[in-house]
Amino acid sequence: MKVIYTDVLIVGGGLAGLRVATGVKERGHDAIVLSLVPPKRSHSAAAQGGMQASLANSKMGEGDNEDVHFSDTIKGSDWGADQLVVRMFTHCAPKAIRELAHWGVPWSRVQKGDRSAIINAQKVTISEKEEAHGLITARDFGGTKKWRTCYTSDGTGHSMLFAMANKARQEEVEIHERMEAMSIVHENGRCFGVIARNLMNGELVAYIAKTTTIATGGYGRIYSVSTNAVICQGTAHAMVLETGIGTLGNMEAIQFHPTAIVPVGILTTEGCRGDGGLLLDKDGYRFMPDYEPDKKELASRDVVSRRMTEHMRKGKGVKSRYGDHLWLDITILGRKHIEKNLREVKEICENFLGIDPAEEWIPVRPTQHYSMGGIRTKYTGESQTIKGLYSCGEAACWDMHGFNRLGGNSVSETVVSGMLVAEYISDFLDSKESDMEIHSAKVESFLQKEQDKIDKLLTNTNGEDAYVLRRRMEEIMMEKVGIFRNAKDLKEAVDELEGLYKRSKNIEVFRSKSRAANPALFNAYRTQKMIKVALTAAMGAYLREESRGAHSREDFPARDDKNWLKRTITSWPDENQTLPTVTYEEIEINSMELPPGFRGYGKDLTEHHPDTKTKVDKVEMLTKDMQEKGMSRFEIQDKLMPFIDKLPKKYQGINERFGENI
């Protein structure tokens, strides 16, 4: 048995995983990163538009701060997020971006003087202050009060990932590439590492570590069309379920991005609309102002995706051989702007659609994009149920996004959660608590179990074809667990997925029997895992009888705080179960800084919780009182919901920003 020991094992080599690795290295701990692909090819690289951080450097960002970012994020989440976590996040986002600037990200900068921009289809002139010249600039994104999304053209994720990976290289973080985590080694509620499989030669390796962090991104590929990279399959989420004790949070909270190109589902950034692009229907008519007169194209993602779908249902979509779509018009931004700030979009249009977006409209439609749900953790990133197991980034549900994520908050979350979790892990490792003891026979039994599963897949006869099961699962998710959901479809989805799950136990790898780099083999075991994950999402959606953020039930159109202000928790305690176990975790109104309210889109249908009114009055009264006493925004915030002491010491400091605290 090959065993590799380390202090910190990290599964996933994207932004979140690499940031954890770098952080623990700085604190003197050893780290190994397991990655399916070379880390620089991780899906983080595909983030285009930008990273939210309330720097307030640009003219249109003036007046921005942590408070505004906090309130935008909570509203965006439809009050599903953990407010403590969001506070920690908004406080640290400026620090994370400055750190990345220091490590080499060429953030776009403020150019003093006049520049022209397109806002609400009008050409306007924005005058940037001389004193702000050369500081990091920002663009507009959906659901934000201020221009807060910092960027490098539309290759932000790429630049961040390369800087991060280079930093990890400098810190000599060990990267074990093309290694796939297969199962979590655990005993008595403590995680001891993973069994991993080398995708080049098929060897199984036991990685034993004091802490294990899962940073594997989302599970978008359970849908047949997704903007996600092909490796975003959620198999690590299934691995957590397979411990029997690990839990996942809000798996039904799945985001659809308004503007992926048709038919292949490749993303065109929200920056297109942030910079002034418009959505048009088959008549070339700009329809969003009719639905959302205030925010128009820049309403929150879930809202825009629903409005687009509604509009297409009215027969206003453009017919194509791949179904209806709408148009994204960025021609009004002009060629110069597109070639500077929307270069990836331009390349994508040229290569995949054969069009020039400076001349022609882009065919788009809402497409699966982001997983708000994930491995349920405490604010420290540690699993609520397995000691020594951590998760961060899109893979996790710590829970920063609730039921809808704001554009620009995901890459921001990766680096912020990575820097925080690295500190919490290091603190744990520095304590006696991290000591561990596990028998080699126990480790061997976990490895043997994986070996047996692979043997069975390769030697099974008269079995099922993994591709057939997988394609059906993808279709079910597309058709029945999509943007608009209802009980009938969801029930059918759960039933049919359960049937697929049972069949998946009898998968056979046909013809291709190699134990080494065998794509048929990895498709087989990944399909088994993906169906499990699909079931958690479908079950969660079926049971949640309300509409919140991206989870929109036609049969329950109102957000129902009275009954549903809670997180869905799924687990799989018994491996013979064919459906996940679902429980709920209350979201306490009393501990909130920003009590539930109206997001400001469409009609307010909210069914309020009885405690909401009392809490709203209390917060208002307190705030007014403290303002009258002349207390600072920091002092007021601290009274409403203290969070600073939860942060690692090194990140507790007050942020300087242009025009504040300097």
Partner 1 sequence: MSMDEKSRLLKISILRFDPHDPEDFPHMETFEIREAHGMTLYVALNEIREHHDNSLKFDFVCRAGICGSCSMLVNGRPSLACRTLTSKYDEHITLAPLPLFELIGDLSVYTGKWMRGLNKRLESWIHDKEEELNVDKLEERMEPALADEIYELDRCVECGCCVAGCGTAQMNPYFVGAVGLNKIARYQLDPRDKRSDDDYYELIGNEDGVFGCMTLLGCEDVCPKDLPLQSKIAYLRRMMIKNTLK
Residues 321-360 interacting with partner 1 (rule: CB under 8 A): 321, 340, 343-344, 347-348, 351-354
Distance CA 317, CA 311 (A): 7
Surface-to-core class of residue 477, CB atoms within 10 Å of its CB (0-12 exposed, 13-18 middle, 19+ buried): buried
HSE of 161, CA atoms in CB hemisphere, 13 A: 22
Distance CA 318, CA 110 (A): 39
Give Cα 276 distance to the centre of its chain: 25
The single residue of 257, 306, 405, 599 carrying the catalytic annotation is 257
Among 100-108, 116-124, 499-507, 639-647, which window interacts with partner 1 (CB under 8 A)?
100-108
Cβ nearer to partner 1, comparing 101 with 332: 101
Note if 273 is an active site residue. Answer: yes
Note if 485 is an active site residue. Answer: no
Cβ nearer to partner 1, comparing 410 with 536: 410
Q: What residues have CB less than 8 Å from 601, skipping those under 6 apart?
A: 292, 295, 299, 300, 303
**Smallest distance, partner 1 to C-beta of residue 104, A:** 4
Tokens 């951590």 belong to which residue? 390
What Å distances lie between residue 400 and 36, 212, 377, 440, CA to CA? 26, 21, 11, 38
Surface-to-core class of residue 621, CB atoms within 10 Å of its CB (0-12 exposed, 13-18 middle, 19+ buried): exposed
**Smallest distance, partner 1 to C-beta of residue 199, A:** 8
**Smallest distance, partner 1 to C-beta of residue 61, A:** 14
The single residue of 273, 306, 369, 567 carrying the catalytic annotation is 273
What Å distances lie between residue 135 and 76, 138, 146, 658, CA to CA? 27, 10, 17, 9
**Smallest distance, partner 1 to C-beta of residue 233, A:** 12
Q: Binding to partner 1 by residue 657, rule CB under 8 A?
A: yes
- Integer-rounded Cα radius of gyration of the chain: 24
Q: Binding to partner 1 by residue 454, rule CB under 8 A?
A: no
Among 134-142, 271-279, 301-309, 393-401, which window interacts with partner 1 (CB under 8 A)?
134-142
What Å distances lie between residue 567 and 189, 247, 373, 403, CA to CA? 22, 12, 10, 10
HSE of 568, CA atoms in CB hemisphere, 13 A: 28
Distance CA 149, CA 142 (A): 10
Q: Binding to partner 1 by residue 528, rule CB under 8 A?
A: no
Q: Binding to partner 1 by residue 400, rule CB under 8 A?
A: no
- Among 659, 613, 508, 596, which residue's Cα sits nearest to residue 146? 659
Q: Binding to partner 1 by residue 159, rule CB under 8 A?
A: yes
Residue of 89, 162, 390, 428 interacting with partner 1 (CB under 8 A): 162
Distance CA 340, CA 154 (A): 9
Residue of 116, 514, 614, 627 interacting with partner 1 (CB under 8 A): 514
Residue of 204, 214, 231, 473 interacting with partner 1 (CB under 8 A): 231
What one-letter code names the amino acid at 468?
A: V
Tokens read off for 427: 């603190």
Residue of 71, 224, 434, 518 interacting with partner 1 (CB under 8 A): 518
Cβ nearer to partner 1, comparing 231 with 481: 231
Among 34-42, 63-71, 77-85, 445-453, which window interacts with partner 1 (CB under 8 A)?
34-42
**Smallest distance, partner 1 to C-beta of residue 55, A:** 8
Question: Interaction with partner 1 in 239-298: which residues (CB under 8 A)?
Answer: 263-264, 266-267
**Smallest distance, partner 1 to C-beta of residue 614, A:** 37
Q: Binding to partner 1 by residue 544, rule CB under 8 A?
A: no
How many binding residues for partner 1 (CB under 8 A)? 84
Q: What residues have CB less than 8 Å from 562, skipping those under 6 apart?
A: 607, 608, 609, 610
Question: Interaction with partner 1 in 583-642: which residues (CB under 8 A)?
Answer: none
Question: Interaction with partner 1 in 185-214: which residues (CB under 8 A)?
Answer: 200-202
Cβ nearer to partner 1, comparing 38 with 315: 38
Q: Binding to partner 1 by residue 38, rule CB under 8 A?
A: yes
Q: Binding to partner 1 by residue 170, rule CB under 8 A?
A: yes
Give Cα 434 distance to the centre of its chain: 29
**Smallest distance, partner 1 to C-beta of residue 524, A:** 9
**Smallest distance, partner 1 to C-beta of residue 21, A:** 14
Q: What residues have CB less than 8 Å from 583, skipping those under 6 apart?
A: 569, 571
Among 102-110, 185-193, 290-298, 571-579, which window interacts with partner 1 (CB under 8 A)?
102-110
Q: Binding to partner 1 by residue 9, rule CB under 8 A?
A: no
Distance CA 241, CA 580 (A): 9
Tell me the catalytic residues: 257, 273
